[in-house]
Structure 1
Amino acid sequence: MSKESGTWLRRFHPAPAGGTRLICFPHAGGSASYFHPVSRELSPVLDVQAVQYPGRQERRHESQISDIAGLADGVMAEILPLADRPLAFFGHSMGAVVAFEVALRLREQGVIPLGLFASGRRAPSCVREETLHKESDQALVAEVKSLGGTDPRMLDDPELLAMVLPAMRADYTAVMTYRCQPDAVVDSPVHVLVGDDDPHVSQDEALRWKEHTSGAFEMKVFGGGHFYLNDHAPAVLRYITETLTAR
């Protein structure tokens, strides 16, 4: 890895000279290492870097951030100097709205990413009143288990769970209290990816992402639930690569 604790980005594999930088934003409770397989597959053609939110893995001793604006501000400070090359964002679930908020901040600086890939998340202005972040640890863990994106061995190990639970709760607080202006718009093309059986995103809610871009819009529907991408990784990675190299 090229970055140390205290910084927001991780590069797991050597990057091609002059290539597009693909910044990957994890889901609630997730970490940069979730995107290690993405980096392995795409690094020959893209500079893949993954966001590491504070409060997990090697940043576990840092204070968690429990609001989307704070996460976006932290990432923004480190991404802006990377805009000397084309940028693209991929965010899953909570990561999709963090990526969106970073793109809004970059827009103010005159930087327009080549594309925003928003996976497994309803449009920013689609609000569901949710209270899971206020409920018990047991309820929170049960929800995370039901979604299938986290190794159940970690959730069943009391010591490991104690380490990850504070960051998990901070993330759920951030995403469940997130609100954006209905007219918030990026200029980047928005590519939405969603599972057809995702309990947290209906296809109508996913389609409303088109209200948040002045650029092109496309939506891809895959079979599966919230973590559909675990079963469709080759197709998802092929779509990202073809989209970003067809210029």
Structure 2
Amino acid sequence: MIEQNQLTFAPWIKRTPGQSPHTATVVFPHAGGAATAYRTLAAELARTGPDAYVVQYPQRADRLAHPAPETVEQLAAELFAAGDWAAVGPLRLFGHCMGAVIAFEFARVAEREGAAVDSLWVSASHAPGAVAESPRLPTAAVDVVADMVDLGGTDPRLLADEDFVELLVRAVRADYQAFNRYSCDPDVRIRADIHTLGGRSDHRINENMLLRWKTHTGGAFTSTLFDGGHFYLNDHIPAVARLVNER
């Protein structure tokens, strides 16, 4: 295994050192989400597993001035180009909501470039082949905020802060615009295994939607549900990390 100080990663890729040298887990946030929102998950993944990396998308936090890619595919390619991923693989990819589709496209790039991907962990997300038929996501500021309230996962006190809302809308809009342009044939597959996770009470992504991911893998497929809604993950971080590491 190459030492971390010999690798090249963009400064906005956040690494948490782990316990195992055999692979690495890469976490892809939800639409509008910053890397800091997944700090606890990364720490739990690394506590009993390999190094965990959380990627940062443009238009937020330390990438506020970075232009937003027009497409999910472009974003995934930029994220892959930002690190020596082949040197820390085989990779386990974990994406929540839109982050799962970005992770899927990241896996496609990695497989083309010869970087090993062991598995893709999908959390509360439309399958790539179903995105084009799903309702378009809002981009007007008032509608973006309403959508964030409907999804949950954002502290209501923060939504009362005008400065926070302005930054949130900027990030969400960039992600939603790329997602609205995305389409993928249902028969497009990656070689990596796909494991889906979701909340039993999620009013956006139900179990049948998660099962549609099965068509996108040439490997194994599993599906696991937890109590909770769209952001069930926040209440089950130790259990989810344990599941990812045990696989």
TM-score by length of 1: 0.89
Shift of residue 82 of structure 1?
A: 2.2
Q: 2:184 aligns with which of 180, 184, 209?
A: 180
Match of 1:41 in 2: 44
2:27 partner SS? strand
Once the two structures are superposed, the pairs formed by residues 41-120 of structure 1 within 5 Å of their partners are 41-44=44-47, 45-79=49-83, 81-85=84-88, 86-120=90-124
CA gap of 1:238–1:6, structure 2 versus 1, over 3 A, is: closer
- In structure 1, how many angstroms separate the alpha carbons of the residues matched to 2:245 and 2:85? 20
* RMSD, matched Cα: 2.2
- In structure 2, how many angstroms separate the alpha carbons of the residues matched to 1:52 and 1:153? 24
Once the two structures are superposed, the pairs formed by residues 197-216 of structure 1 within 5 Å of their partners are 197-216=201-220
Shift of residue 17 of structure 1?
A: 6.1
Shift of residue 164 of structure 1?
A: 2.5
- In structure 2, how many angstroms separate the alpha carbons of the residues matched to 1:204 and 1:129? 14
Give the residue type in structure 1 aligned to 2:136.
T
**What's the % identity of the aligned pairs?**
39
- Deviation per CA, 1:27-58: give whole Å up to 9, x if none: 00101111110122222321001010011011
Match of 1:26 in 2: 29
Match of 1:130 in 2: 135
Give the residue type in structure 2 aligned to 1:24.
V
Match of 2:195 in 1: 191
* 2:238 aligned with 1:240: no
> Quick check: 2:127–2:210 contact (8 Å CA) kept in 1?
yes
Q: Which moved more, 1:116-125 or 1:228-237?
A: 228-237
- In structure 1, how many angstroms separate the alpha carbons of the residues matched to 2:32 and 2:95? 13
> Quick check: 2:38–2:54 contact (8 Å CA) kept in 1?
yes
- In structure 2, how many angstroms separate the alpha carbons of the residues matched to 1:193 and 1:113? 18
Give the residue type in structure 1 aligned to 2:200.
D
Q: Which moved more, 1:221-230 or 1:97-106?
A: 221-230
Count of residues paired in the alignment:
239
Match of 2:222 in 1: 218
Give the residue type in structure 1 aligned to 2:187.
D
Match of 1:164 in 2: 168
1:96 partner SS? helix
Gaps of 5+ in 1: none
2:118 partner SS? coil
- Deviation per CA, 1:57-97: give whole Å up to 9, x if none: 11112222342112111111124x22123211000001000
1:23 partner SS? strand
2:26 partner SS? strand
TM-score by length of 2: 0.89
- Deviation per CA, 1:142-190: give whole Å up to 9, x if none: 1101211122222221112112211111111222332112221001110
> Quick check: 1:6–1:54 contact (8 Å CA) kept in 2?
no
Shift of residue 140 of structure 1?
A: 1.2
